[in-house]
Structure 1
């Protein structure tokens, strides 16, 4: 997921039984029972998750790992009987990048292995380095200037902005009944007031100042002849957050080798150095850039529709296949992809005959800005900058997304679409015993359903139990297979399969919101 879950847009509503009576949905209870039985008793979702994580490995944008996952998912979907499986280019992305070797340790005042990994798109070291360190702390350009002449041939330790503190809260949690009720009862007027223009400009100015200082700091460290950089974006208990340390553009300017560290290790190095105790670091990174194919790709496959009139219409489901590189991207977002793949496997295994075509899409390059889904939408449906609709725009019945970790589904965000909410409430009723009951018109941001919503298409994200997604796994070195609860993934697969099936069987496409106005890139959130 591109950024932490944000609860945005206006409100949500509770839809009680009288509202549901306005128009009863036709639901094939026998087919839904088959879906539930197949998904709960003969699931393949954990096997799929194993291949996406442990076998394919980290799946950074345009990396070898993502290429492996693209090819494997295409083959697997075909083996289950889906058709038109394809690794489809969406446009130009940039360079790929892979780690071939990474090692870092403190060798003085004593030996200790350190927890860290290269930042994405940073270069290799010149073989193995063994260097003294310099701590660099600067919040202004004047403070930064004090380090001139002190960095040559040194490993630079950057400050820790958010040192870990003791926490008395559990890492993982599930939504309580009260929390789910608040989601359903939330009203638009309950939203916090937006900052006024003066406050927004103040925040933007602060951000521009901070970014300018970071750029100047990076340029100075490079020009001063430092050997490498150690930094951290936070975390605790050996967990560190990972990101990119350089652009992925083919013409990106040079940067230094940089490793992101666990904050505990980084802070120990800083304390020793500031106490006047000489600190020596040994490190080696070997990274490889891939610049022969700069395109980005999505994996798509279909279950053909069977209704003569409706089979040209499409119900889509998907999640992003790419990940960050410090772990194997289990909760972000192998879980979502495994669940979506399991949903279409269930539909094929049960032999149901969807009236509309069902199309799964596994997106590339989500982590860098929803690129896979945004460009798919632009190529197939409409460009939000112009809102000139392509013929396929009219044919999409719905898009369902999953990208909020590995927790079971508790309901669905209706994305401000009040007309669709009573429909979803009815669709959830057969699965109340699985803990999924909540419909909210409130939106959750930061993932691929937004690409569809931006051009007026009905795109939806499910509500999932948070578990330890925000506290431990999201964009960290702890995002591994062990964080995937099998029962949660099974439950989610059944819910997704049922929603996709019911959307494919309705006489009408799902209701749509009014088309949005054209919105240039600079105006989008």
Structure 2
């Protein structure tokens, strides 16, 4: 028997009967009375996508506050900032009408222009080179302009070459100028995959709103249009799009949701349990992060229904602005710096629908972690729960990073299961049906037990050597990659001999996870690469529609 098994056996034997009864009540409520899928259904199907600055996000926050209050928690919204312009996405549809009728799967960026009702027009295929684009001239007027994706070369090198099925960047810029000058209906390109990911830039001004309609199609639909255009021989290729994108004049107030289950003996100390309520709006925001929002709500309901009386206050938080860079959680930490020392730890569920399978702590936290999470192993004989050890905590990828940057222990639950995170993450596929009910029920119950366990520890979680703060260490461990703007799709290599290139990362790969941490921006790749000081890591990338594992090694 290993030393941790001995610790667990001792801890279990020492538990008072009332603690054991509470554990049984929590597990029973989580398994037999679960409402987690009802929460998720309301968020994703009744409310829908919850883009930061949208009306739907505010509706979701109001609904979440009402839910928490109905279970007896002290709940409220707290404003953390504003955005200059709001954005609401309505219904959208796209069709190729001639030479054959075909429905089109596509996306437009958030905070981008839509059409004015249905816009029907002929399509024209843009050449890949600048001279060819120049020759288009006024012919783009009133047309849908179809173009290949731009070729991206190494930083500082103009154009990056004319590779097969890629457009010269200079030609692309000139095409945009011609489309604006002569009144094209919009431009159409492809993601190059069976999925389209949604992103967007929120830093826009009401007096200078985007006006160009820019559409990204899945590969098969794009290829079908291009094939028709190349074989048209005098006949027209006719496309029709109806895209309801609406802007709302700001400033738009933005909120976090906070709900407290008050502590019995240490009410002014906290354990934070949460996920982000906002999502991208290309679908309904299930994988990222309706799943984590619903388990946060359900964990609160389970504990309240079971009559749990934690020693410390368990604070349930649903942040917004996460997808734009952890804005809501970062703003909360900055505003409440005087309260941060009272937080024992922050635990975030933001890894999709796969079940919560463990948590990792530093060497000096292991005894506390074993005690706090001992009961999580009892939830299911089938679905495991493990307590791991890591040299440093990693803040990459989600809201726990905001707390960790202030010296507060922050954790991203480890997850396992059959779901493929990349299939739904920010794509048109991210709908309610991706959630696995058994996993969601299990995760909510584990989170409830873990929250209570940490809240009842004799002391707050140990803070010794939480993370590496050396900027030199971060820079030395940089992957050496370049990314397409607003994504984690590799467009090239800043260093052809760097860690990324040596490890087998390829152009076109989309970085998804680093040692189980979901990555959501190139700044998070850098942080996650450096934060725990380990020389080797497991990177998951999305390549040609499939997740691929790559072992990445940093020189020490």
Same-fold call, TM cutoff 0.5? yes
Q: Does 1:506 align with 2:457?
A: yes
| Corresponding residue of 1:485 | 436
Match of 1:448 among 393, 399, 416: 399
Alignment check: 8 A CA contact 2:124 2:140 kept? yes
The verdict on how the C-alpha distance between 1:295 and 1:128 changes in structure 2, with shifts beyond 3 A counting, is same
| Corresponding residue of 2:32 | 41
Question: How many angstroms apart in 2 are the aligned matches of 1:355 and 1:374?
Answer: 27
| Corresponding residue of 1:410 | 357
Alignment check: 8 A CA contact 1:424 1:439 kept? no
| Corresponding residue of 1:292 | 250
The verdict on how the C-alpha distance between 1:356 and 1:206 changes in structure 2, with shifts beyond 3 A counting, is farther
| Deviations, residues 384-436 of structure 1 (Å, cap 9, x unaligned) | xxxxxxx212111111100010111111243xx33224433454443332311
**CA shift for structure 1 position 123:** 1.9
Alignment check: 8 A CA contact 2:376 2:450 kept? no
| Corresponding residue of 1:157 | 146
Question: How many angstroms apart in 2 are the aligned matches of 1:394 and 1:23?
Answer: 31
| Corresponding residue of 2:364 | 419
The verdict on how the C-alpha distance between 1:264 and 1:438 changes in structure 2, with shifts beyond 3 A counting, is farther
Alignment check: 8 A CA contact 2:25 2:306 kept? yes
Give the secondary structure class of the aligned counterpart of 1:312: strand
Alignment check: 8 A CA contact 2:123 2:146 kept? yes
Alignment check: 8 A CA contact 1:39 1:491 kept? yes
The verdict on how the C-alpha distance between 1:233 and 1:423 changes in structure 2, with shifts beyond 3 A counting, is farther
Bigger relative contact order (CA 8 A; separation at least 6): 1
Question: How many angstroms apart in 2 are the aligned matches of 1:132 and 1:115?
Answer: 18
Name the structure with the higher strand share.
2
Q: Does 1:59 align with 2:50?
A: yes
**CA shift for structure 1 position 64:** 1.6
Structure 1's unaligned 5+ residue stretches are 1-14, 163-201, 382-390
Question: How many angstroms apart in 2 are the aligned matches of 1:51 and 1:506?
Answer: 34
**CA shift for structure 1 position 258:** 2.4
Q: Does 1:264 align with 2:211?
A: no
The verdict on how the C-alpha distance between 1:245 and 1:157 changes in structure 2, with shifts beyond 3 A counting, is farther
TM-score, normalising length: structure 2: 0.74
| 248-257 vs 150-159, which moves further | 248-257
Equivalences for 1:108-147 in 2 at 5 Å? 108-136=98-126, 138=128
The verdict on how the C-alpha distance between 1:302 and 1:408 changes in structure 2, with shifts beyond 3 A counting, is same
Alignment check: 8 A CA contact 1:315 1:358 kept? yes
The verdict on how the C-alpha distance between 1:65 and 1:18 changes in structure 2, with shifts beyond 3 A counting, is closer
**CA shift for structure 1 position 274:** 2.6
Give the secondary structure class of the aligned counterpart of 2:369: helix
The verdict on how the C-alpha distance between 1:60 and 1:206 changes in structure 2, with shifts beyond 3 A counting, is farther
**CA shift for structure 1 position 135:** 2.6
Structure 2's unaligned 5+ residue stretches are 161-166, 472-521, 528-556
The verdict on how the C-alpha distance between 1:215 and 1:412 changes in structure 2, with shifts beyond 3 A counting, is farther
Alignment check: 8 A CA contact 2:8 2:371 kept? no
Question: How many angstroms apart in 2 are the aligned matches of 1:40 and 1:135?
Answer: 56
| 404-413 vs 250-259, which moves further | 250-259
Alignment check: 8 A CA contact 2:79 2:255 kept? yes
Question: How many angstroms apart in 1 are the aligned matches of 2:177 and 2:367?
Answer: 55
Q: CA RMSD in A?
A: 3.3
Q: Does 1:50 align with 2:50?
A: no
Question: How many angstroms apart in 1 are the aligned matches of 2:247 and 2:103?
Answer: 27
Question: How many angstroms apart in 2 are the aligned matches of 1:137 and 1:504?
Answer: 63
**CA shift for structure 1 position 146:** 5.9
| 466-475 vs 89-98, which moves further | 466-475
**CA shift for structure 1 position 489:** 0.6
**CA shift for structure 1 position 444:** 7.0
| 458-467 vs 210-219, which moves further | 210-219
**CA shift for structure 1 position 71:** 0.8
Give the secondary structure class of the aligned counterpart of 2:451: helix
The verdict on how the C-alpha distance between 1:67 and 1:271 changes in structure 2, with shifts beyond 3 A counting, is same
TM-score, normalising length: structure 1: 0.78
Question: How many angstroms apart in 1 are the aligned matches of 2:394 and 2:293?
Answer: 21
Alignment check: 8 A CA contact 1:124 1:257 kept? yes
| Deviations, residues 426-476 of structure 1 (Å, cap 9, x unaligned) | 544433323112524274731111111111111101011254343421111
The verdict on how the C-alpha distance between 1:377 and 1:233 changes in structure 2, with shifts beyond 3 A counting, is farther
Q: Does 1:282 align with 2:240?
A: yes
Question: How many angstroms apart in 1 are the aligned matches of 2:72 and 2:175?
Answer: 54
Question: How many angstroms apart in 2 are the aligned matches of 1:72 and 1:338?
Answer: 12
